[in-house]
């Protein structure tokens, strides 16, 4: 989560938008994008899950797949990183690659 926070901070710093901010506290990462909504990403270590609340796609629970070395949504098999990259690219108007695949094991 620290690496995800660092990636998001770098992106937001580059944008310099006064209403955009990211915070991480007590295992909960909150990304506020002003009128574009708020993302909440929450670790659930006992369940080995990450919970994501998106202003675009709604709430989802991601399970870690050792076979794929990635966090996947069981209903559609989509990786959390792919969803976030796509939604943030649309919201921010620039290409976003958070590199979540490379940090997947460290989040668990």
pLDDT greater than 70 at residue 57: yes
Per-residue b or e along 42-64, where b marks 16 or more CB atoms closer than 10 Å to that residue's CB: bbeeeeebbebebbeeeebbbeb
Average pLDDT over residues 40-46: 92
CATH number of 2-94: 3.30.920.10
Tens-place pLDDT, residues 63-104: 999 898 889 999 999 999 999 999 999 999 999 999 876 444
Q: What is the pLDDT of residue 101?
A: 63
Its pTM stands at 0.87
pLDDT greater than 70 at residue 107: no
Q: What is the CA radius of gyration of the chain?
A: 13
């Amino acid at each position: 989560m620290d690496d995800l926070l660092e990636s998001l901070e770098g992106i937001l710093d580059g944008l310099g938008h006064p209403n955009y901010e990211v915070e991480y506290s007590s295992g909960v990462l909150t990304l506020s994008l002003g009128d574009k909504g708020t993302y909440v990403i929450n670790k659930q270590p006992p369940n080995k899950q990450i919970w994501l609340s998106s202003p675009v796609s709604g709430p989802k629970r991601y399970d870690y797949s050792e076979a794929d070395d990635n966090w996947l949504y069981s209903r559609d098999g989509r990786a959390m990183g792919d969803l976030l990259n796509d939604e943030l690219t649309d919201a921010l108007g620039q290409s976003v690659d958070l590199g979540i695949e490379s940090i997947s094991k460290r989040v668990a």
